A and B are shown apart, each in its own frame.
Chain A
Amino acid sequence: MTASRKNPAREQLDRIEDALIESILGASEAELREEMVERGEDPDKCLLRMEQIVAGAKVASGKRRMERAKSELQEWRTGQAKTLKFDREAVRARFEKMRSRDPELASKMLLAARKGEGLSESDVEGLIEDLAKLERLDDKPGSE
């Protein structure tokens, strides 16, 4: 008997597989056990084997998740270090350029600083970090 040419063979095979799986899903435990015994398999050993497979999958997944977490943490640290180093040096240069070219800005900064005594080093560091954040926002797609 040859396969019907009405549908492509792959589709026919998928449908046969669907039907067989459907019949298994509809079978009772007793039927399945009987069929397994008939072909020489021990259903209880099969269940034990299932337990082992599941335990193995859980352990393997746990290890993979741990590896993934370590790798992501490492990536994050590397990326963070690069960003901070780059931002700090480049942004400080840009900040100093802005301050030297704009006397009005320099004057406002002086007034905004504590008791008109000028910006402390930590004030400058804070401004550099704020500027870096603003630049990162500007670089994001969709930002104006």
Chain B
Amino acid sequence: MSETDIFGGMKGRMPAMSQTRQIGSEPVTSDGFLDSEDISEAFDSLSPENRLKLYEIERIALRGTDLSPGDLLHEALSAAIMGDRNCPRDVPFMAFIVQTMRSIASHHREKRRREPTDGGAAPEARPVFSAAASDPEQTLIERESADTVGAIHDCFEGDEQAQMVVLGWSDGYRGKDLRDFVGVDQTALDYIIKRIRRTMAKRYPNGWKKQ
């Protein structure tokens, strides 16, 4: 199974917030990290193409949070400028900001899951997967994730190729493995993926929140 590292090696390298070092009010950046001015400059120098990409990626990363479009980017950029999140100099800025947005979204999802429901009690979980049954929170996460995965598949009812691609993605297939799994060449795969992206954008215009 081949998997391209689209995140510039960021996965597993994102410094935790607690690792941030500070002196006074300024983020301390050893030579290995961008400082706050570098962050501002890095963003200012992003091309319109990359900005549109961030705009689109944010919509996807918002899933399951209570945030609105724009909030994630605002938080990610603020965290980077404040030094709460550090961007290694050898990592592409786009990869850093994308992973920071995703990480922040993940924190929001976790926080939301821990909040009591309207009735004041913690959300009751019904067991779906036996492996997670002993941990109600994990069970809830699994249930919500399963619901979303199911809803994504439902978006492509009647489009078997798109369903195959989504299924392949969910099993981690990329490149040749994905082409073989779906049984199409790269041009056809690109076309199917574009179709998936468009359908998803229409189905979830404000991120993958529960509709």
Binding site for B on A (CB under 8 A): 1-4, 6-10, 12-13, 15-29, 31-33, 35-36, 38-39, 43, 46-47, 49-50, 53-54, 56-58, 60-61, 64-66, 68-69, 72
A25-B149 contact, Cβ under 8 Å, with A32-B56, A72-B24: no
Q: Are B141 and A10 in contact (CB under 8 A)?
A: yes
Choose one: A6, A17, A24; the contact of B56 (CB below 8 Å): A24
Q: Which of A7, A15, A47, A69 has the most chain B CB atoms inside 10 A of its CB?
A: A15
- Determine how close the nearest CB of chain A comes to the CB of B63; give it in whole angstroms: 7
Q: Are B201 and A35 in contact (CB under 8 A)?
A: yes
Q: Which of B139-198 contact A (CB under 8 A)?
A: 141-143, 145-146, 148-150, 152-154, 157, 163, 166-167, 169-172, 174, 193-194, 196-198
Q: Are A3 and B170 in contact (CB under 8 A)?
A: yes
Q: How far is the CA of A16 from the CA of B200 in the complex (A)?
A: 11
Asked if B48 CB lies within 8 Å of chain A CBs, one says yes
Q: Are A39 and B205 in contact (CB under 8 A)?
A: yes
Mostly, the B contact residues are helix
How many B residues have CB within 8 A of the partner chain? 65
Q: Are B73 and A57 in contact (CB under 8 A)?
A: yes
Q: How far is the CA of A50 from the CA of B44 in the complex (A)?
A: 11
Q: Which of B46-68 contact A (CB under 8 A)?
A: 47-49, 51-57, 60-61, 63
Q: Are B74 and A60 in contact (CB under 8 A)?
A: yes
Q: How many contacting A-B pairs (Cβ < 8 A)? A: 166
List, in ascending order, chain B residues with CB within 8 A of A68's CB: 25
Q: How far is the CA of A9 from the CA of B26 in the complex (A)?
A: 41
List, in ascending order, chain A residues with CB within 8 A of B157's CB: 1
Choose one: B6, B141, B170; the contact of A25 (CB below 8 Å): B6
Choose one: A1, A15, A24, A56; the contact of B171 (CB below 8 Å): A15
Q: Are A29 and B149 in contact (CB under 8 A)?
A: no
List, in ascending order, chain A residues with CB within 8 A of B141's CB: 10
A24-B170 contact, Cβ under 8 Å, with A10-B141, A29-B48, A57-B73: no
List, in ascending order, chain B residues with CB within 8 A of A28's CB: 49
List, in ascending order, chain B residues with CB within 8 A of A18's CB: 6, 169
> What mask results when residues 9 to 53 of chain B are scored 1 for a CB within 8 Å of chain A, else 0?
000000000000000111000000000100010011001110111
Q: Are B70 and A27 in contact (CB under 8 A)?
A: no
Find the B residue at minimum CB distance from A8: B142
- A-B complex: 7 closest residue pairs judged by Cβ atoms: A69-B25, A12-B170, A29-B49, A9-B145, A9-B146, A19-B169, A61-B81
List, in ascending order, chain B residues with CB within 8 A of A2's CB: 150, 153
Q: How far is the CA of A26 from the CA of B190 in the complex (A)?
A: 10
Q: Are B166 and A38 in contact (CB under 8 A)?
A: no
Q: Are A46 and B55 in contact (CB under 8 A)?
A: yes
List, in ascending order, chain A residues with CB within 8 A of B154's CB: 1
Q: How far is the CA of A115 from the CA of B4 in the complex (A)?
A: 81
Q: Are B24 and A8 in contact (CB under 8 A)?
A: no
List, in ascending order, chain B residues with CB within 8 A of A22's CB: 4, 6, 174
- Determine how close the nearest CB of chain B comes to the CB of A10; give it in whole angstroms: 4
